[in-house]
């Protein structure tokens, strides 16, 4: 360990510095209000600390932080200049030589779609989410400023810190929005050379040759297979970016890095993994099959999963999912199903055409409700569990649009899945629009919330018991006892409250 501190210290807020007992989708619990679980129980049983070595270096770190580490080394910084440290141990790596402290966060102010839906002034429960609390606690730590190092924040939620007043309040000097591999190293170099760098910087679209291979293990065993999306949903930042697939040899090299770090479960990440090496919008099945087969074939890999997939891609190649399931062994006792995030967003073809016409391609907007149900059916037959999202309050939304989404929810009842309603957040090309909050809810919105709640409660206990089987016994017992309490006791109260709010909003 450098006695006088590393020149560049990279870290992340505590909620993203956890492997969630290998159940990475539990990470969404970080968007819940911090009053939901006592911190002791939350950070022990749901969000345990990622392992460290050499006195506090992160053995596993968020994937984006690993990419910045790799970019810095490829730019010319020495490995002795850069350290990826656990936030709880960061003071051990900071000294008079430290010039830059880079902090990654998914949701620094709790203003992302999930957090604004469930917490804060806009959300159902109020309060501060765990991730925003831990980010504020980290960057406000006076030990970070002891040697006058600049604090630079990046990550998917960095857009929340574009406001200068918010940066000043938190003591953040520099914010990087967007892809960081090309823009971050020169910024760090200027700071180390004594320049007074401050403000917001925007990353360029990075070509695949600059997506340098990671040097250390990642949270969740995440390995990026493609970046961007290109479908152009107006409320989403990644979908506005050009889709780029990484070479298979780079992907396999990063999987081996994870295995060496003790990660034997790999999560292939892209906005739509099914479009790996796609021909534009069209799925290329042979490339996707090769990807999963190669990943599963890496020595030491015991499990292969994925982060996101698009329903249009499922419907376009209906036999592909079952082929993937066979390749990676889905259907066994230890892997009863595979899950990934996917966007439903609405049941209204009109809203599809208005805000996300590319989401449905190569199909037509008027086919969307049928396409969603068809894709859910394919998922069920292939032992895939969709974790779907809906967006409430999109610009131009009418009551008829909401009721069409409710009708779609009714059609999806038989399909094993989780469907989460989220409030519209003005980002992407809709940045200038007004956001949606619980105060804007109409009776139809509450009816949709009730449909989502009932759907979730119908499948929650079964899915939870299958999902947490690999957790340590004590953590699994805690999560399942909480889930049973929600399903069997809290659910009844929640339904009554949703109905009361529906009736109250109708009387306004």
Per-residue pLDDT of 290-323, as tens digits, reads 999 999 999 999 999 999 999 999 999 999 999 9
The class (CATH top level) of 218-440 is alpha beta
pLDDT at 463: 82
Cα 112 to Cα 107: distance, rounded to the nearest angstrom: 6
Residue 1 has pLDDT above 60, yes or no: no
Cα 429 to Cα 240: distance, rounded to the nearest angstrom: 8
> What angle (nearest 5°) sits at the alpha carbon of residue 463, between those of residues 263 and 403?
120
The class (CATH top level) of 8-202 is alpha beta
The share of the chain scoring above pLDDT 70, in percent, equals: 98
Confidence of residue 235 (pLDDT cuts 50, 70, 90): confident
Cβ-proximal residues to 305 (8 Å cutoff; 6+ apart), any chain: 265, 266, 267, 268, 338, 339, 340
Residue 416 has pLDDT above 80, yes or no: yes
Residue 449 has pLDDT above 80, yes or no: yes
Closest CA to 99 of 1, 191, 11: 191
**Structure tokens, 287:** 């490339």
Residue 479 has pLDDT above 80, yes or no: no
Cα 433 to Cα 448: distance, rounded to the nearest angstrom: 23
pLDDT at 483: 73
Instruction: Please state, rounded to an integer, the average pLDDT across all residues of the chain.
Output: 93
Map residue 482 onto helix, strand or coil. helix
pTM of the model: 0.93
The better pLDDT of the pair 176, 113 is held by 176
Task: Evaluate whether 8-202 and 218-440 have a shared fold.
Answer: no
The better pLDDT of the pair 26, 305 is held by 305
> What angle (nearest 5°) sits at the alpha carbon of residue 16, between those of residues 12 and 22?
140
Confidence of residue 3 (pLDDT cuts 50, 70, 90): low
pLDDT tens column, 344-378: 999 999 999 999 999 999 999 999 999 999 999 99
Residue 118 has pLDDT above 80, yes or no: yes
pLDDT at 9: 98
Cα 427 to Cα 113: distance, rounded to the nearest angstrom: 10
Mean pLDDT of 112-124: 88
pLDDT at 424: 94
Q: How many CB atoms are closer than 10 A to CB 493?
A: 9
pLDDT at 487: 67
Q: In what order do the strands lie in the sheet with 384-392?
A: 338-345, 384-392, 418-423
Cα 132 to Cα 115: distance, rounded to the nearest angstrom: 9
pLDDT at 496: 86
**Structure tokens, 348:** 């209204």
pLDDT at 508: 65
Q: Hey, where are the domains in the chain?
A: 8-202, 218-440
Confidence of residue 239 (pLDDT cuts 50, 70, 90): low
């Amino acid at each position: 360990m450098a006695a006088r501190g590393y020149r560049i210290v990279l870290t992340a807020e505590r909620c993203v510095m956890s492997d969630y007992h290998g159940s990475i989708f539990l990470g969404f619990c970080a968007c819940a209000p911090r009053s939901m679980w006592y911190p002791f129980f939350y950070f022990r049983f749901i969000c345990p600390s990622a392992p460290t070595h050499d006195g506090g270096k992160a053995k596993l770190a968020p994937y984006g932080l690993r990419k910045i580490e790799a970019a810095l080394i490829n730019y010319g910084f020495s490995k002795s200049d850069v350290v990826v440290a656990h936030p709880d141990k960061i003071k051990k790596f900071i000294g008079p030589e430290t010039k830059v402290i880079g902090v990654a966060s998914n949701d620094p102010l709790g203003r992302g779609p999930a957090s604004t839906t469930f917490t804060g002034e806009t959300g159902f429960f109020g309060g501060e989410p765990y991730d925003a609390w831990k980010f504020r606690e980290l960057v406000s730590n006076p030990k970070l400023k002891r040697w006058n190092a600049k604090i630079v924040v990046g990550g998917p939620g960095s857009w929340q810190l574009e406001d200068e007043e918010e940066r000043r309040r938190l003591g953040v000097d520099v914010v990087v929005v967007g892809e960081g591999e090309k823009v971050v190293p020169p910024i760090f170099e200027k700071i180390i050379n004594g320049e007074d760098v401050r403000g917001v910087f925007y990353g360029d679209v990075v070509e695949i040759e600059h997506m340098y291979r990671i040097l250390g293990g990642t949270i969740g065993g995440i390995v990026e297979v493609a970046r961007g999306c290109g479908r152009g949903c107006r409320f989403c930042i990644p979908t506005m970016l050009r889709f780029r697939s990484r070479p298979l040899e780079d992907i396999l090299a990063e999987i081996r890095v994870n295995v060496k770090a003790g990660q034997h479960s790999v999560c292939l990440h892209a906005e739509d993994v099914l479009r790996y090496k796609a021909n534009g919008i069209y799925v290329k099945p042979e490339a996707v099959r090769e990807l999963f087969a190669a990943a599963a074939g890496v020595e030491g890999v015991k499990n292969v999963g994925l982060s996101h997939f698009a329903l249009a891609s499922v419907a376009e190649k209906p036999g592909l999912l079952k082929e993937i399931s066979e390749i990676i062994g889905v259907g066994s006792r230890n892997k009863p199903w595979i899950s990934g995030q996917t966007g439903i967003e609405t049941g209204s073809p009109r809203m599809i055409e208005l805000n996300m016409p590319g989401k449905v391609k190569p199909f037509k907007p008027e086919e969307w409700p049928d396409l969603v149900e068809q894709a859910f059916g394919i998922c069920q037959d292939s032992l895939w569990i969709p974790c779907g999202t809906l967006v409430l309050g999109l610009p131009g939304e009418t009551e008829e649009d909401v009721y069409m989404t409710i009708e779609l929810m009714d059609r999806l009842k038989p399909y094993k899945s989780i469907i989460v309603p989220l409030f519209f957040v003005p980002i992407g090309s809709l940045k200038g629009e007004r956001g949606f909050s619980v105060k804007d809810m109409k009776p139809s919105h509450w009816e949709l919330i009730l449909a989502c709640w009932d759907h979730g409660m119908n499948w929650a206990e079964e899915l939870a018991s299958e999902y947490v089987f690999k957790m340590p016994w004590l953590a699994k017992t805690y999560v399942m006892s909480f889930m049973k309490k929600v399903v069997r006791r809290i659910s009844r109260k929640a339904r009554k409250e949703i109905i009361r709010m529906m009736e109250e909003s109708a009387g306004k």
